[in-house]
Amino acid sequence: MTEGAPIRVVVLAAGNDARGDDALGPLLLARIEALGIDAVRCVFDFQFQVEHALDLGEADLALFVDAHADQVEPARLGQIEAARRPPTGSHALSPDEVLQVYARVCSADAPPCFMLSLRGETFELGAGLSRAAEESLEAGWALAQRLFDCPDANRWRTHCA
């Protein structure tokens, strides 16, 4: 990267807007995309897959976004590392498995990667957003704005739980 060039960030969000709180990832991604930051590339899919490892290739920093049912906080940021073992399947990978695929395919470490987990409660087909998910979306949005005010891995680490 040349001196003074903007940090290239890829945001990968997973979710399904037809399954209640599973819509949190795509909803937050839409808000991030609306910021209109040239150096930010947004990628949406229903689940993280092997192919998403290739999306990390041009990035200096990556943010995965997804809904999780098993957390207390409305929004939680954590840094992720590559899984120690290769994925056992080719569909529905966890973010750390995506990083492991990147390392294996590219023979290099992935850029610094973070997971923004948003609390959800209701994931049934046809359900709307729960009250908890609405709170999580707003908390995640507030955190995302702080992250994109200064897209720097060291700064992002200060926001990690």
pTM: 0.90
Residue 124, sorted as left (phi over 0), alpha (psi -120 to 50) or beta, turns out to be beta
Domain extent listing, the chain? 9-157
Sites in the chain below the pLDDT cut of 50? 1-2
Report pLDDT for 107.
84
pLDDT tens digits, one per residue of 32-56 = 999 989 899 999 999 988 888 888 9
CA distance 91 to 7: 29
* Domain range 9-157, CATH class: alpha beta
- pLDDT of the residue at 105: 85
